[in-house]
Structures are given as C-alpha cells and as structure tokens.
Amino acid sequence: MVTFNQSICQFTMESQIVSHPSATVKVPKGFKLIGGGAIIYPFSEPPNPSNFLTASYPLDPETWFAAGKDHEISSPGSIIVSAFAIPDADDIWDVKIVSATSDVLSHPKVTVALPDDYVLTSGGAFVDYRGAGNMLTASFPRANPDGDGDWYIWEAHSKDHDVSDPAALTVYAIGIRLRSAPAGSPGLQNIVTTSATTDPTDKPQITTTGPAGLVLTGGGAWDHWSGAGNMLTASGPAPDAGTNASAFTWLASGTDHITSSPATISGWAIYPEAVDALQPARRIARLKTGEIPPLDSPYRP
C-alpha cells in the first residue's frame, strides 16, 4: 500500500493587518497542492464590526490564495492562509483542479463536480466583486445527491450586504488519484466529518475534528444566514494556543455586520487515507460525526 497520510505537509502564511488582507502560500518544488483554507485573525474575537472572507482557493497547481475585506466601516485585520501538499518527486499522484463560475448576481451560488476516479481532498471559492463588496457565506463539500455516500462536489455561496454589488462566484474542487491504480480504484478514500451549531448567534463558530492519527487536507463552512446577513470570517485549520494552524481540526466561523442577524453554522473536515490500490474502490466517504444540513435548510439564503 502506498503511504499518503504521513506525507501530508502544511504550509502557512499570515498577512499584514490591513483593510483588505490577502496572502498566498506557494508549496515547495516537488510538492503537489491538494488543499487549503483561511482564517481572518484574531479568530476568537473577529475585528468589530469585522473583516470578511472573499476568497480562499487554489490560484494555480502550486499556490493557495486567500483574501478578506472590511465593509462600509474600517476594520483592518490579518488573514492566515494554509496550504496542504504532498511530496511527489516521482509523479505517482495525479492531482486535478476543476472549477465553475456563476452568473453575476447579488447572492450567487455555484457547484462543481470532480470526474470519476478522483478522491475529493479540498475545495475553495473566489468572489469577483467589483464595487462595495460581495462576501463568502459558504464553501463546503457535498455528497452525491443520489445518496450513495460519495463525496466529490464542492458548493459555494456569497452575498452583497447593505450596498448592492452583484458579482460572479467561482468554485473549485481538488481531487487526487494514484496513477498506477486500476480504473475505478483511485488508491485513496476520504473520511469526511461534519458538525453544526444549533442555536443562532451573531458570531457563530464551530470546530470539526476527525479520527485520531489522520491529517487534514481541507474543509468547509456554511453560514446559514437569514435576515440582514451573516458572512464567513473563517474556513481553515484552527489556530492552536498561538497562531500556528492545526493539522487536525477545522474552524468555521462567521459574523453579522452592523445589523444583528443571528445564524447557525456548519463545518466540514476532510481526511484522506490510502487504501489497497488493487482493490476496487470509489471516492469512499464515511460520515463520522454530526449531521449534514439539508440542502433545503430554512437558513439557506
């Protein structure tokens, strides 16, 4: 069996404290990017009123990019960007990045699906706003709607707030397969865990953790806003007691802005592990904890 989980490496960069923070993480030569995430810092008490995520996605096959912005009122912040990668000097892994872009809308939503035989490791989203701002409210993995437990879809939502600013939203999914594996057997499976808050709050936050011994490659967040709106401030590896990002726990958080607008939030974490490449396997996903919020959630914008 080819080792995988023990080979995952994490690279992190923090931006300066500015109104529109952004940062990129480029993985070293010989590594392949398989995931990433971002957190507006300080994560435990976001700047008031706040600074919101507008982008967290694979800029190219070697680079993860993330950005945030304040809105209407000055609220500088920094952003912590993390990228996950595997060393692959022998080119045994085939990594694929797919994307899809929405129409220009005030509240765009868009999904993208991986081709067959690729295991989902991560995903992201980018809001191409051109005016006052349009911010992310969701970027998360989805299981096959046919109900077969197969995770290979990524979904994203965003919204303008108070000031109209329609934008196009691009969603990304990252998948991987072992080149030597036979058809229908990617050589990997992913364990997807999820958790959700139950009581709406102005600043919803939750962490999601997977099985002991497995390392993250990505995760997601869905801020189930209603009313004026509540937008994402974090979807990334949770900082520890310092500012180092965890390799095991995913943080999802959001906040309202100016007008009180309580919301709940859901978080996901993705942990790939190797399987015998000679055995038939699909993008096997085992839901370990929590409950997937229904797609017809009343909080869905």
CATH code assigned at 130: 2.60.120
Q: Is residue 301 included in any domain, yes or no?
A: no
- Is 90 exceeded by the pLDDT of residue 98? yes
Determine the pLDDT at residue 266: 94
- The three-state secondary structure class of 7 is helix
Q: Is residue 15 included in any domain, yes or no?
A: no
- The three-state secondary structure class of 127 is strand
- Is 50 exceeded by the pLDDT of residue 298? no
Q: Is residue 191 included in any domain, yes or no?
A: yes
Q: Is residue 218 included in any domain, yes or no?
A: yes
Domain count, the chain: 1
Q: Is residue 57 included in any domain, yes or no?
A: no
Q: What is the DSSP string of 81-109?
A: EEEEEEE-TT--EEEEEEEEE--SBSS-E
- Is 60 exceeded by the pLDDT of residue 194? yes
Domain that holds residue 166: 90-274
Q: Under the phi-then-psi rule, with left for phi > 0, alpha for psi from -120 to 50, and beta for the rest, what region is 184?
A: left
Instruction: Report residue 136 CA to chain centroid gap.
Output: 11
Q: Is residue 120 included in any domain, yes or no?
A: yes
Q: Is residue 259 included in any domain, yes or no?
A: yes
Q: Is residue 14 included in any domain, yes or no?
A: no
What per-residue string of b and e applies to 154-168 under the rule 16 or more CB within 10 Å gives b? bbbbbbbbeeebebb
Per-residue pLDDT tens digits for 196-239:
888 888 888 899 988 887 888 999 999 998 877 888 999 999 87
